[in-house]
């Protein structure tokens, strides 16, 4: 049996890698058609993220939002909830985080941490509404959270344009984030901020929460088999509420961490899409918080390569979105490599049978 399990693991890994390689091949074919110098373009796409310390930093920076939203999605999916509210909350978390540090004066480090704490609470409070609606009124969280995103986004945009706008700046943006409010840079050269550490910390904490605490246990049982959870005396409604509240809170805090760590003003006029990306990351990571950093870094690498490619060649970075989409389809496809896996299992079992005959 153990062998079968190991076999499972090998094939999960193999499957993910094959999916990545196939999606790259398809991407290259697309590049072949859209670029005048396809081979140098491909080279830049693959190697540019490692070419300079700035580009390397870019990988980390691109991964930051995904660490938070991916982790949040993990927790919610573990409870069986497909809640999209992370998208709106990441946006509003960024705005409110910036507003807090602009308007409150506290010593450095304490100020941004205070902003993170407040946005965490804000996210939890907002996230409670669709979660509670799901638990008591059975309103599908997928639909209600999508609608909530609109409310949050337009409210945020209204606040940005009318209340928190810096009239002396050339763009619609908040005032500049004061030095005391910044999450410090780990390296000024490549602008890698301590926000990445906070992101990693949350992935780790999420894992500990899910696998080492009783609340995490309740979430996993409820998500995998609600009937079993109910039968076991677990309050399943309460569980799906707090799982979504925690997920929402992490997304909102993530927005603040990203803005305070990696931006100088809050100036988003559109939803940044990081909340939805969280689902992609969670799928690649098989909903395991410990794999979220790997998935997020990989996605960061792809985006960094795409950005470099867009900067240095004649191919635009739209191509990376095509790659992403193909990759996810392949990774999510369960039948992929299934035949091969069956053959391996059969061969193994047959070897086990033989000595008895």
Partner 1 sequence: MSYFVEMKDITKVYDNGIIANQAVNFSLKEGEIHAIAGENGAGKSTIMKILYGLEKPTSGEIFIRGQKVNITSPIDALRYNIGMVHQHFMLVDNLTICENIFLGMEITKGLVLDRNRMNELTLEYAKKYDIDVEPNEVCRNISVSVKQKVEILKVLVRGARIIILDEPTAVLTPQETDKFFQQLQLLKKDNYTIVIITHKLNEIKAICDRVTILRHGKNCGVYQVKTISLNDISRLMIGFDINHNKGKASVKRKRKILSVNTLEIVNNRGEKVVDNISFDAFEGEILCFAGVEGNGQNETIQCLAGLNQNYRGQIIINKQNISKMSIAKIRSLGVSYISEDRMMQGVNQEDSIMDNLINYKLNKKEYVKAGFINYRKLKAEAVDLLKNYDVKYDNLKQPIKMLSGGNIQKIVIARELENEPLVIIANQPTRGVDVGAIELIHQKLINLRDKHKLIILVSADLNEVFNLADRIIVFYNGKITAEITDVNNLTEEELGLYMLGLKKQNKNGHINE
Chain residues that interact with partner 1, rule: CB under 8 A: 1-2, 4-5, 212-215, 217-218, 220-221, 224-225, 227-235, 342, 345-346, 348-350, 353
281 CB burial (10 A radius; 0-12, 13-18, 19+): buried
Do the Cβ atoms of 292 and 285 come closer than 8 Å?
A: yes
CB of 340 to partner 1, least distance (A): 13
State the minimum distance, in angstroms, from the CB of residue 143 to partner 1: 25
Output DSSP code: residue 184.
P
Which of 36, 214 has the CB closer to partner 1? 214
Tokens of 232: 């076991």
Shortest distance, position 326 Cβ to partner 1, whole Å = 27
**Least separation in angstroms between CB 289 and partner 1:** 16
- Beta carbon nearer to partner 1, 2 or 138: 2
CA 321 to chain centre: 15
DSSP state of 83: -
Residue 32 CB: number of other CB atoms within 10 A? 12
Work out how close the CB of 201 gets to partner 1 at its nearest, in angstroms, rounded to a whole number.
18
Distance from C-alpha of 33 to C-alpha of 346, rounded to nearest angstrom: 43
Query: Cβ of residue 7: shortest distance to partner 1, in angstroms?
Result: 8
The token pair that represents 121 in the structure block: 């609470």
Contacts of 60 (CB under 8 A, 6+ apart): 192, 196, 297, 300
Q: Is 187 helix (H, G, I), strand (E, B) or coil?
A: strand
DSSP type of residue 336: T
CA distance 315 to 324: 16
Maximum CA pair distance of the chain? 86
Q: Which is nearer to partner 1, 76 or 98 (CB)?
A: 76
Closer CB to partner 1, 269 or 346, in the complex: 346
User: Whose Cβ is closer to partner 1: residue 221's or residue 326's?
Assistant: 221
- Count Cβ atoms below 10 Å from residue 36 Cβ, excluding itself: 9
Name 93's Cβ contacts closer than 8 Å, sequence gap at least 6: 119, 122, 123, 251, 252, 253, 254, 255, 256, 259
Name the nearest CA neighbour of 99 among 80, 84, 119, 82: 119
Q: How far is the CB of 138 from partner 1 (least distance, A)?
A: 15
Nearer to partner 1, 4 or 25 (CB): 4
Query: Whole-number minimum distance, CB 227 to partner 1, in Å?
Result: 5
C-beta of 68 vs 218, nearer to partner 1? 218
What SS3 class is residue 104? coil
* 188 vs 356 by CB, closer to partner 1: 356
Q: How far apart are CA 63 and CA 71, in angstroms?
A: 12
């Amino acid at each position: 049996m153990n062998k079968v399990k190991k076999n499972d693991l090998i094939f999960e890994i193999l499957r993910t890698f094959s999916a990545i390689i196939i999606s790259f091949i398809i991407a290259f074919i697309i590049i072949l058609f859209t670029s005048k110098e396809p081979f140098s373009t491909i080279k830049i796409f693959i190697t540019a993220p490692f070419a300079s310390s700035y580009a390397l930093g870019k990988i980390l920076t691109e991964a930051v939002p995904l660490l938070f939203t991916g982790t949040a999605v993990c927790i919610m999916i573990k409870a069986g909830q497909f809640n999209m509210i992370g998208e709106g909350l990441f946006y509003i978390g960024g705005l409110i985080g910036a507003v807090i540090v602009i308007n409150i004066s506290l010593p450095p480090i304490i100020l941004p941490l205070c902003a993170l704490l407040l946005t965490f609470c804000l996210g939890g409070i907002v996230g409670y509404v669709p979660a509670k609606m799901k638990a008591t009124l059975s309103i599908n969280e997928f639909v209600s959270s999508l609608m909530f995103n609109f409310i949050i986004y337009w409210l945020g945009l209204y606040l940005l344009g009318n209340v928190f706008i810096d009239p002396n700046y050339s763009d619609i943006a908040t005032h500049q984030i004061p030095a005391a409010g910044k999450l410090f840079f780990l390296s000024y050269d490549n602008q890698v901020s301590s926000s990445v550490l906070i992101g990693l910390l949350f992935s780790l904490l999420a894992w500990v929460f899910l696998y080492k605490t009783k609340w995490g246990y309740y979430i996993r049982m409820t998500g995998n088999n609600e009937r079993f959870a109910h039968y076991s005396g677990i309050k399943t409604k309460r569980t799906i509420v707090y799982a979504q509240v925690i997920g929402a809170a992490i997304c909102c805090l993530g927005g603040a961490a990203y803005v305070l760590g990696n931006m100088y003003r809050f100036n988003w006029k559109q939803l940044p899409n990081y909340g939805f990306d969280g689902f992609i990351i969670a799928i690649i990571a098989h909903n395991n918080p410990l794999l979220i950093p790997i998935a997020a870094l990989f996605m960061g690498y792809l985006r960094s390569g795409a950005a470099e490619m867009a900067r240095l060649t004649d191919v635009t970075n739209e191509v990376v979105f095509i790659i992403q989409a193909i990759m996810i389809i392949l990774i999510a496809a369960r039948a992929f490599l299934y035949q091969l896996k069956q053959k391996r299992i059969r061969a193994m079992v047959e070897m086990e049978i033989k000595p008895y005959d």
